Amino acid sequence: MDPHLRFDNVEKQRDRFTLRIPDIEINQGDVLGVIGNNGAGKSTMIQLVLGLILQTKGTIFRYAGEKVENTLHEWKKDVGFVFDDLSVYDDLNMKLLSKFLGEVYPTWEESYFFSLLEQFHIDPKKKVKNFSRGMRMKAGIASALAHRPKLLILDEPTSGLDTKSRKQMIRLLKETNEKEGTTVIFSSHILADMEQLATSVWFMDEGEILLHGSIDELRANHAVDGNGRIQVNSQEGVKQATLDDLHDYYLGGDTE
């Protein structure tokens, strides 16, 4: 499978904090879940990928469909992104936002945008300042998807959503990935969402990627013995490790 992104020995220095990403590829059509404690470097990684900040060291290769690297400006047209809030003017409604984004993205599909808003029960005439946190997140997802991006980057996409809305969001993202081959990178503290959506994960802490790979491979390579302890590369465990087990072992300080 062709890479969609490739990191070559990337570092980003910010005051006393350093993010280090070794040689890693994210394949086209992959769904990467990024798990980490606060301050792990998840948001810094996302900002690097989007070109909002520049790395201190190393190279990030961003590929188009034909494996030809575009300029960052052109590449961004194929990227949808959502941070943990909808960062637009509060006096905008969704009709005005659609008009604005239609001028930014050549592939903008207004009908798809409004169909997503309808699914989310969002009134397109309502101003953003009157949205709840969950509505702002849903509107952000609709904005990110409506130009059919090849890469979708989401920072805590289910944050602030109730259980029903979270399930709806996960179902939509899975359908987008499976039907359109969209590569997805998302961070979340909700491991149940990660289990349902991600095909591969990064465990990050203090600027380092402690563990990475496909969920199936990582679970197969970690077992839980009769005393509840993680066994790495062991066939002695009585059950395969869950994502919760891996989280506790690598990020929760449970290394005994």
| Per-domain residue ranges of the chain | 3-207, 221-256
Look at residue 158 in the predicted model and tell me its pLDDT: 79
Per-residue pLDDT, 148: 95
Q: How far, in Å, CA of 241 to CA of 235, rounded?
A: 12
* % of the chain at pLDDT higher than 90: 57
**pLDDT by residue (tens digit) across 230-248?**
888 766 556 788 889 899 9
What pLDDT shows up at residue 234?
Answer: 62
Six token digits for residue 165:
């809305």
185-207: average pLDDT? 91
Rounded distance between C-alpha atoms, residue 38 and residue 213, angstroms = 21
Asked if 208 and 18 count as a contact pair (C-beta separation under 8 A), the reply is: no
Among 57-71, 77-91, 178-192, 213-227, where is mean pLDDT lowest? 57-71
Q: pLDDT > 70: what percent of the chain? A: 93
What's the mean pLDDT when you consider all of the chain? 88
Residue 5 confidence (pLDDT): 93
- What class, spelled out in words, does domain 3-207 have in CATH? alpha beta
In sequence order, which residues have a C-beta less than 8 Å from that of residue 98 and are 6 or more positions away?
Answer: 108, 110, 113, 114, 124, 146
Angle at 75 between CA 73 and CA 80, to 5 degrees: 105
Lowest average pLDDT, out of 66-75, 115-124, 219-228, goes to: 66-75
pLDDT of res. 121: 93
Higher-confidence position of 226 and 37: 37
Q: What are phi and psi of 58, to 5 degrees?
A: 85, -175
- CA 250 – CA 7 distance, rounded (Å): 22
Query: 134 falls in which pLDDT band (50, 70, 90)?
Result: confident
pLDDT higher at 68 or 72: 72
- Tokens encoding 17: 């904090």
Contact 113, 120 (CB under 8 A): no
Q: What average pLDDT does the segment 8-24 reach?
A: 94
What pLDDT, on the 0 to 100 scale, is given for residue 213? 93
pLDDT at position 153: 95
Q: Please give, one letter per residue, the 3-state secondary structure of the chain.
A: CCEEEEEEEEEEEECCEEEEECCEEEECCCEEEEEECCCCCHHHHHHHHHCCCCCCEEEEEEECCCCCECCHHHHHHHEEEECCCCCCCCCCEHHHHHHHHHHHCCCCCHHHHHHHHHHCCCCCCCEHHHCCHHHHHHHHHHHHHCCCCCEEEEECCCCCCCHHHHHHHHHHHHHHHHHHCCEEEEECCCHHHHHHHCCEEEEEECCEEEEEEEHHHHHHCEEECCCCCEEECCCCCCEECCHHHHHHHHHCCCCC
Q: 183-187 and 200-205: which strand pairing?
A: unpaired
Q: What is the pLDDT of residues 50-67, one digit of tens each?
A: 999 999 999 999 886 554
Confidence of residue 212 (pLDDT cuts 50, 70, 90): very high
Checking if the pLDDT of 87 tops 60, the result is yes
Q: How far apart are CA 44 and CA 49, in angstroms?
A: 9
pLDDT digits (tens, 9 = 90+) for 136-166: 889 999 999 999 999 999 988 877 788 888 8
Closest to 200 measured CA to CA, from 79, 34, 84: 34
Please give the structure tokens belonging to residue 157: 């996409």
CB-count exposure of residue 179 (10 Å: 0-12, 13-18, 19+): exposed
pLDDT band of residue 71 (cuts 50, 70, 90) is: confident
